Copies of this chain bind each other. A is one copy, B any other.
Amino acid sequence: MKLDRTIVEAIVRQIVQAQGPRGAASAPAAANHAAAKPNLVVSISARHCHLTDEHVEILFGPGAKLIPEKPLYQDGFYAAEQTVMVVGPRRRMLPTVRVLGPTRSASQVELAFTDAISLGIEAPVRHSGNIQGTPGCVLVGPKGVVELSAGVIRAARHVHMNFKDAEQYGVKNGDFMKLRIESPQCSVVLEDLLVRADATSKLEVHIDTDEGNACNLDGATKVELLKQDGGCGCKH
């Protein structure tokens, strides 16, 4: 299991550089200015969890803090040194699930469907933070155990961007886009990609390991971000 985890982590945060937005009719003229074109980074989020300060102390001992191990692409976020064991019903478990920092106001476990099947949990697709009514699980750390009554989700695919990127794509926070990934013999279009626009985020798509493996993101030759109600990936 540890070996598998190594490989999965090796493809985490796989970065694909590709072209900027297409010259959609609704995009402002500035979108065609080469220097203004945002680079499109597509990252695979492997299964991970977010913890509250309180849960960090229960799992890793009084006074424990998350220890940053690897910075994520978005400034201020990181993969922590710490991992937890996630235990589902019928004693099935995932032994080493990475904790991402910084801490949050609610603990949450984000799985791909394949992970959820392994664990025997039906994880609903939810936007991060929206965990009401979702299944719970048990988290086991070296110093203690936390039972979550809710918080196990499949994170909905989304794209982070700043307001300037959003303007160039002709979209706004809360809109949906499509991501087309061109890959030899397994190109896909992922619809329902939520736009999360704010003042400071870097342009970055987050998909999970199932989505990344379905299209072999590692071998992708091109990625494009398209408006959900507009252009599509096919030629007509």
A85–B192 Cα gap in the complex (Å)?
38
A235–B191 Cα gap in the complex (Å)?
12
* Interface 9-mer from A27-35, A72-80, A96-104, A206-214: A206-214
Contact between B191 and A233, CB atoms less than 8 A apart? yes
Contact between A233 and B112, CB atoms less than 8 A apart? no
Contact between A188 and B189, CB atoms less than 8 A apart? yes
Give A191 Cβ to nearest chain B Cβ, in Å.
Answer: 4
* Copies per assembly: 2
Which residues 190-236 of A have a CB within 8 angstroms of B? 190-192, 209-211, 213-216, 228-236
Interface size class of A (residues with CB under 8 A): 35 or more
* Interface 9-mer from A1-9, A62-70, A142-150, A164-172: A1-9
Would you give 13 A-B contacts (Cβ < 8 Å), ordered by A? A4-B117, A7-B120, A113-B213, A113-B214, A114-B114, A186-B190, A186-B191, A187-B191, A188-B190, A191-B233, A191-B234, A210-B210, A214-B214
With A114-B114, A156-B186 given, can you name 20 additional A-B contacts, CB distance below 8 Å? A4-B117, A11-B117, A113-B213, A113-B214, A113-B216, A114-B210, A114-B213, A117-B213, A125-B185, A125-B186, A154-B186, A156-B185, A186-B192, A187-B191, A188-B190, A188-B214, A189-B233, A191-B234, A210-B213, A229-B236
9 closest residue pairs by CB, A with B: A214-B214, A189-B189, A113-B213, A187-B191, A125-B185, A210-B213, A232-B232, A232-B234, A210-B214
Is the CB of A118 closer than 8 A to any CB of chain B? yes
Contact between A8 and B117, CB atoms less than 8 A apart? yes
Give A106 Cβ to nearest chain B Cβ, in Å.
Answer: 20
A186–B214 Cα gap in the complex (Å)?
13
Give A222 Cβ to nearest chain B Cβ, in Å.
Answer: 12
Give A173 Cβ to nearest chain B Cβ, in Å.
Answer: 17
Is the CB of A55 closer than 8 A to any CB of chain B? no
Give A230 Cβ to nearest chain B Cβ, in Å.
Answer: 7
Contact between A120 and B3, CB atoms less than 8 A apart? yes
A228–B120 Cα gap in the complex (Å)?
36
Contact between A188 and B186, CB atoms less than 8 A apart? no
Is the CB of A184 closer than 8 A to any CB of chain B? yes
Q: Of the candidates B7, B211, B235, which one forms a contact with A117 in the assembled complex, judged by CB atoms under 8 Å apart?
A: B7
